[in-house]
Amino acid sequence: MDIDRIAAQSQPYLLSLFRFVTGLLFFHYGVAKLFKFPPVEMFADVTPLSLWGVAGMIEFVFGGLLMLGLLTRFVAFILAGEMAFAYFIEHLPHSFFPVVNDGALAIVLCFACLYLASAGGGPVSLDALRRPTLVRG
């Protein structure tokens, strides 16, 4: 078996899976911030109109859209910006080093979303269903 051939054939479907899991992470954080489930001490005092509450709303709605693969490029671009903003206002002031300031996840999610903004949602997405099919003649 040729590993390059297998990898090339599975790449579009792994892109869709990567998009879904990335969206699920955002959605999960949004649920924790807005609905206090699961109960997380650091999100206990988050109110809807606070900075963290607005971030939770963005993560909840846009994470859901990312899971569905709807408006993937736009949604991923906004989420990448949110994570960059989160890193610079929440993590970087504590230390330059991500391992010290707990900002590694924000960095990874930022660049994951930048990739998705470029690559799109993959074949298993609502975006793919909305795309008109080419008629060959």
From first to last of the 137 residues of the chain, give the pLDDT tens digit: 688 888 889 999 999 999 999 999 999 999 999 999 999 999 999 999 999 999 999 999 999 999 999 999 999 999 999 999 999 999 999 999 999 999 999 999 999 999 999 999 999 999 999 887 644 44
pLDDT of residue 135: 47
Mean of the per-residue pLDDT values of the chain = 94
Residue 50: give the domain boundaries.
3-130
Tell me whether residue 51 is in a domain. Answer: yes
- What's the rounded Cα separation, in Å, for the pair 11 and 83? 25
Residue 137 lies in a domain: no
- Flag whether 136 is in a domain: no
| Structure token digits, residue 118 | 């470029």
The secondary element (H helix, E strand) that includes residue 107 is: helix 104-119
| Count of domains observed in the chain | 1
At 28, is the secondary structure helix, strand, or coil? helix
Q: Is residue 34 part of a domain?
A: yes
